[in-house]
């Protein structure tokens, strides 16, 4: 099928709720994608921080094929061996007391579960979140999202149980938490908001406030989790452990899955009937999740992201320093890097595209690099050359 035909079918049969680029991919390997016309691209987007092991990773392909032949879905009415094994794998990379896992199907659902769990556990009614955050598109997750552009048109469906503070402002956080606060929910690095790290003091204050007030600290690790930032989890950069973390995106390298991880004490506030989902934790998704975690451990992808990502950021900072302010800032951690560029972000994206490199622009002005964690150094060099040439124009 030709690109024009696919475009027409998209318009004829699909909701037009995405601003799609006119390109259609056929297959991939490692960090390389090929489109239906045979063009090759270095993918520094990874399905928005999803394909951390790259495309067609042999361990993932094997896990999907073998499990699909045995059992794709079975109800949570029964014991599910693969689900228990995936939970054990997740707990093996979590610091105590994060030791119980609830599986869902997406990042928004993981946050939805975490927020319900915090309300049930504390018996309280309010949640503190950060401005400029992104937590997903379901009702509670969207309510927790501190960006009105996503909420406009959906009020009063969304509840007014959320209090927002400037991300990074510890003093505002102190004033926002009250005896009614069930939870503080934060991303360790705001992803959609423009690759903005929280800072240690902000996270430590959140932890202390929760300890003092009895609220629960929820870390949204949907984008930052699973080696993306050079640690298994983003919160590990700040020396604190949350009460609940939420995962999705990279967890099954593209197979839809999400998870909410909590201490046993908190997890027991959900009893049979409190929460659930038909597909959550199905054998196929959880076999893949277990394989992803085993592969990340075996290939030391946390270290790889930390070392290569750290060096890459240094290169990019040196370009920024001699860019006459065209690259205003380079920030992030590991393989989650943002180049703040203002109006030129989209131009650099276009220039990269014409050189066969895919990058994402978030918050309108930040070029975001969130590649497969297995990417080859030659792909990093290719992007660096593009930046150098772009700045020379
Ligand atoms: C930090 C964060 N939380 C939640 C979500 C929502 O995840 P999903 O799109 O799987 O519902 C996203 C998606 O970009 C995210 O970046």
pLDDT reported for residue 160: 86
Q: Is the CB of 369 under 6 A from ligand 1?
A: no
Q: What is the pLDDT of residues 46-78, one digit of tens each?
A: 999 999 999 999 999 999 999 999 999 999 999
Domain residue limits, the chain: 3-56+300-392, 71-298
pLDDT reported for residue 342: 82
pLDDT reported for residue 107: 98
User: Are residues 136 and 143 in contact, defined by beta-carbon separation less than 8 angstroms?
Assistant: no
Q: Is the CB of 94 under 6 A from ligand 1?
A: no
Q: Is the CB of 146 under 6 A from ligand 1?
A: no
Q: What is the pLDDT of residues 166-187, one digit of tens each?
A: 999 999 999 999 999 999 999 9
Distance 113 CA to ligand 1 centre (A): 13
Q: What is the pLDDT of residues 241-291, one digit of tens each?
A: 999 999 999 999 999 999 999 999 999 999 999 999 999 999 999 999 999
Q: Is the CB of 128 under 6 A from ligand 1?
A: no
* CATH of the domain spanning 3-56+300-392: 3.90.1150.10
Q: Is the CB of 234 under 6 A from ligand 1?
A: no
Distance 107 CA to ligand 1 centre (A): 5
pLDDT reported for residue 89: 98
State the pairing for strand pair 244-247/40-43: unpaired
Average pLDDT score over the chain = 97
pTM over 0.85: yes
Q: Is the CB of 221 under 6 A from ligand 1?
A: no
Give dist(CA 180, CA 66) in Å, integer: 49
User: Are residues 336 and 21 in contact, defined by beta-carbon separation less than 8 angstroms?
Assistant: no
- The ranges of the chain with pLDDT < 70 are none
* CATH of the domain spanning 71-298: 3.40.640.10
Share of the chain above pLDDT 90, in %: 97
Mutate to test the pocket of ligand 1, among 45, 225, 248, 254 (most ligand atoms within 8 A of CB): 248
For ligand 1, atom 4: residue with the closest CA: 135
Mutate to test the pocket of ligand 1, among 47, 110, 134 (most ligand atoms within 8 A of CB): 134
Peptide bond into 182 cis (omega under 30): no
Q: Is the CB of 248 under 6 A from ligand 1?
A: yes
pLDDT reported for residue 370: 98
């Amino acid at each position: 099928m030709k690109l024009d035909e696919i475009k027409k079918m998209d318009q004829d049969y699909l909701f037009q709720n995405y601003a799609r680029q006119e390109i259609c991919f056929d297959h991939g390997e490692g960090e390389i994608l090929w489109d239906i016309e045979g063009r090759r691209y270095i993918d520094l987007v990874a399905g928005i921080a999803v394909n951390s092991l790259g495309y067609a990773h042999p361990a993932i392909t094997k896990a999907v094929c073998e499990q699909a032949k045995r059992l794709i879905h079975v109800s949570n009415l029964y014991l599910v061996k693969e689900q228990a094994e995936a939970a054990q794998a997740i707990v093996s990379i979590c610091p105590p007391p994060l030791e119980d896992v609830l599986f869902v199907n997406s990042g928004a659902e993981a946050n939805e579960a975490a927020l319900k769990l915090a309300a049930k556990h504390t018996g309280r009614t309010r949640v503190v979140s950060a401005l400029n955050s992104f937590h997903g598109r379901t009702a509670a997750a969207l309510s927790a999202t501190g960006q009105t552009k996503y909420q406009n048109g959906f009020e009063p469906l969304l509840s007014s149980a959320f209090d927002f503070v400037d991300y990074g402002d510890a003093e505002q956080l102190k004033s926002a938490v009250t005896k009614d606060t069930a939870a503080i929910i934060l991303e360790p690095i705001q992803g959609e908001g423009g690759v903005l790290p929280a800072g240690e003091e902000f996270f430590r204050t959140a932890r202390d406030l929760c300890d003092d007030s009895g609220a629960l600290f929820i870390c949204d690790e949907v984008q930052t989790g699973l080696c993306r930032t050079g640690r298994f989890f983003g919160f590990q950069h700040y020396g604190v452990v949350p009460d609940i973390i939420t995962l999705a995106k990279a967890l099954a390298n593209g197979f839809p899955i999400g998870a909410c991880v909590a201490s046993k004490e908190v997890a027991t506030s959900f009893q049979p009937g409190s929460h659930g989902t038909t597909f959550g934790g199905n054998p196929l998704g959880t076999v893949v999740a277990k394989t992803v975690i085993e592969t990340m451990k075996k290939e030391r992808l946390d270290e790889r992201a930390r070392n290569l990502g750290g060096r890459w950021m240094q290169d990019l900072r040196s370009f920024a320093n001699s860019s006459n302010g065209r690259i205003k800032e380079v920030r992030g951690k590991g393989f989650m890097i943002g180049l703040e560029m203002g109006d030129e972000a989209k131009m650099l994206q276009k220039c990269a595209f014409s050189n066969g490199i895919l990058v994402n622009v978030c918050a309108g002005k930040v070029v975001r690099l969130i590649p497969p964690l297995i990417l080859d150094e030659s792909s990093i060099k290719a992007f660096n050359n593009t930046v150098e040439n772009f700045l020379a124009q």
